[in-house]
Amino acid sequence: MSVDSATVRRIAHLSRIAIEDSEVERLRGELNAILAFVETLSEVDVDGVEPLTSALPMQMKKRADVVTDGGIADEILANAPSREDHYFVVPKVIE
Amino acid sequence: MSDPTHLSLAEARDALTSKQLSAVELAQAHIDAISKSRALNCFITETPEFALAQARESDARIARGDARPLEGLPLGIKDLYCSKGVRTTAGSRILDDFTPTYESTVSANLLRDGAAMLGKLNLDEFAMGSSNETSAFGPVVSPWRRAADPDAKIVPGGSSGGSSSAVAARLCLGATATDTGGSIRQPAAFTGTVGIKPTYGRCSRWGIVAFASSLDQAGPITRTVRDAAIMLRSMAGHDPKDTTSVDAPVPDYEAAVGASVKGRRIGVPKEYRIDGMSAEIAALWDKGAAWLKDAGAEIVEISLPHTRYALPTYYIIAPAEASSNLARYDGVRYGRREQGRDVSEMYEKTRAAGFGPEVRRRIMIGTYVLSAGYYDAYYVRAQKVRSLIKRDFDEAFASGVDAVLTPATPSTAFAQGEKGSADPVEMYLNDVFTVTVNMAGLPGVAVPGGLAANGLPLGLQLIGKAFDEETLFSLAAAIERAAPKIELPQPWWREG
């Protein structure tokens, strides 16, 4: 499989990365080189093979559903590029 | 005492305990070395005051007989580990002046045990790279040089290139690193140092900037096998804040260094003898097997039939996980923000300006392989092949093999700009021998095997059973004893 320039633009938008028109061709070439490299996986017989979702078999740990943390709003906001009181500030979302 | 930066971590520990050396003297010697070695570009942030304050506390503790396991030992911390109150960059512009209000669990464990932090080490941006050339803070240079071409700037490997170069050049006694596809072992091999990626789950990932969460694992880079064992013991351990960290006791790894390897069965996988393998790498591999055999181990050929699919599998799974993990860099909660007319434009401009080309490329590949219509063909298929890669190792170990011996890298280090500029896949091939280990979640160690004809180090890799790092330390120590000693060139990188 390979990607065309419309797909490159669609992927960039899904990734929320702005790209210039002048970048599309170069990105298309780079992405297609990687896709060609991974194409070899199509020759592997994976019938009946379970996908590996955890590197080692382990039980998901559980704990009591109680609050163990919190009350650190100042710390959470300490690195925000724009803030007001205890709020993150972003451009207007709803007109 | 003559220059204490020439001590190993274990020797420095013993010199501090016997009061031949003070922790302040040891820290100051490293601070001076760092300040004269900026040509290597190992550190993004130096923290000399922090190191000296810790050293003064260490001297007080040693004086009152209250020394901790790593008391007074100065280390470098890869700038992927969050450091409380110290700017943490992940090698990226997008984190801007991000200053964590918390400490990563692994670095907190090292500080708990008395280590001192000299600073934050350079790395490939978000740990994506094999040469430390993708860092937003410039490439790191290796202290090693090619004999015939001494002016070429040699890469220290990646992504933990600041760690490997700083340890090789004696700017710190040891360094933390991380490994997602080879980022501890490949830089260790390129710089003649020792690097171990422990079993997935052995070290907590909490507070380490995430790349690909099912593959990422922390580990040390040091100058000796014993030093790696000492550091890993402090780094490892259960952490309730990482659900994938394993609740199991941490063995005394140092005790495994020097243990006999007599009767151990070492598998040599025939599929690693890849097309076009250089005669030099093949000879190194044979020597490694001979050294282990001389130490009493038994060498057997094994088969890991899905080896050739590991790297393509990695280049689906790792970007897929990265595209998800890196969605958090949106210009809202931390890091850089570019203004936009609306929230969407703000996201897109922030991420375009903040991420470098390799990171953008991987996010886009990851987004594509997870997108509707392609998810099964790429991502789910890759996860199935990952099962087969893991099964290969399971079967090899079930057949009675204790560990697997391979070369660590397909070549020696190269010079800046020599690889990957035309085709990103050319750079990816560096990890062909290391990436299988992350796929299977297993421990792997790179240990120096000598110098190539061009004067640069070569490394061997040992792969172990899950949570059997001790066998790897015993075997790596046997190789370390048998391999020719390698000597750094004169310190050309030092000013003054």
Question: DSSP labels for B234-260?
Answer: HH----TT-TTS--SPPP-HHHHTT--
Q: What pLDDT score does B241 carry?
A: 94
Residue identified by tokens 């804040």 is B241
Q: State the pLDDT confidence band at B1, using cuts at 50, 70 and 90.
A: low
Specify whether the CB–CB gap between B481 and B226 falls below 8 A.
no
Q: Which domain covers residue A13, as residue numbers?
A: 5-43
* Average pLDDT taken over every residue of chain B: 97
The pTM of the full predicted model, rounded to 2 decimals, is 0.97
Burial of B353 (0-12, 13-18, 19+ CB in 10 A): middle
Are B64 and B42 in contact by the 8 Å Cβ rule? The answer is no
- Top-confidence residue, B496 or B188: B188
* Residue B297 predicted with pLDDT over 80: yes
Grade residue B487 by pLDDT with cuts at 50, 70 and 90: very high
Angle between helices A24-38 and A5-14 (to 10 degrees): 90
- Please state, rounded to an integer, the average pLDDT across all residues of chain A: 93
Q: Residue B496 pLDDT > 90, yes or no?
A: no
Within-domain flag for A65: no
The answer as to whether A10 is a domain residue is: yes
> N- to C-terminal Cα distance for chain B?
21
Query: Is residue A80 included in any domain, yes or no?
Result: no
Residues B392-417, mean pLDDT to the nearest whole number:
97
Give the number of other Cβ atoms within 10 Å of residue B85's Cβ.
Answer: 12
Instruction: Kindly tell me if the per-residue pLDDT of A42 is higher than 70.
Output: yes
Q: Which two tokens stand for residue B116?
A: 């001192």
Please state the rounded mean pLDDT for residues B119-130.
98
The pLDDT assigned to B271 comes to: 96
Which of B333, B340, B368 lies at the smallest CB-CB distance from A80?
B333
**Above 90 in pLDDT, residue B97?**
yes
Report the distance separating Cα B34 and Cα B22, nearest Å.
Answer: 19
Mean predicted confidence (pLDDT) in B340-348:
95
Band (pLDDT 50/70/90 cuts) for residue B424 is confident
Convert the pLDDT of each residue in B235-263 to its tens digit: 999 999 999 999 999 999 999 999 999 99
Interchain CB distance below 8 Å, B343 and A60: no
- Asked if B371 and A82 come within 8 Å (Cβ–Cβ), the reply is no
What's the pLDDT score for residue A54? Answer: 83
Task: Flag whether A13 is in a domain.
Answer: yes
Decide if A22 is inside a domain.
yes
Residues B261/B225, Cβ–Cβ less than 8 Å: no
Q: Which residue of B has its CA nearest to A58?
A: B244
Alpha carbon distances (Å) from B7 to B164, B260, B344: 17, 25, 54
pLDDT, tens digit, 9 for 90 and up, residues B30-46: 999 999 999 999 999 99
Mean pLDDT value across residues B136-142: 98
Q: Do B385 and A56 touch (CB under 8 A)?
A: no
Inspect the interface and report whether the beta carbons of A11 and B367 lie closer than 8 Å.
yes
On chain A, the residues whose CB falls within 8 A of the CB of B324 are none
Written as six digits, the tokens of B134 are: 């993708």
Q: State the pLDDT at residue B275.
A: 85
Query: How close is the nearest chain A Cα to the Cα of B179, in Å?
Result: 14
- Poorest-confidence range of B76-90, B176-190, B416-430? B416-430
Domains in chain A, number: 1
Distances (CA, A) of B145 to B281, B453, B487: 19, 12, 11
Structure-block tokens of residue B233? 């013991």
> In chain B, helix, strand, coil percent, each to 5?
40, 15, 45
Give the mean pLDDT of B367-381: 96
Note whether A81 contacts B335, CB cutoff 8 Å: yes
Domain assignment of residue A34, yes or no: yes
Chain B residue whose CA is closest to A74: B101
CA-closest candidate to residue A34, choices B93, B382, B209, B13: B382
Q: Is A76 domain-assigned?
A: no
Neighboring chain A residues of B384 at a CB cutoff of 8 Å: 44, 46, 49-52
Partner B contacted by A26 (CB < 8 A): no
Residue A39 within any structural domain of the chain: yes
pLDDT at A1 over 80: no
Which two three-digit tokens encode residue A52? 């590996």
Mean pLDDT of A38-46: 96
A67 touches chain B (CB under 8 A): no
A76 to chain B, minimum CA–CA distance in Å? 8
Contact B351 A16 (CB under 8 A): yes
- How far is it, in rounded angstroms, from Cα B319 to Cα B15? 45
What's residue A95's pLDDT? 66
Q: How far is A89 from chain B (nearest CA, A)?
A: 7
CB pairs under 8 A between A and B: 171
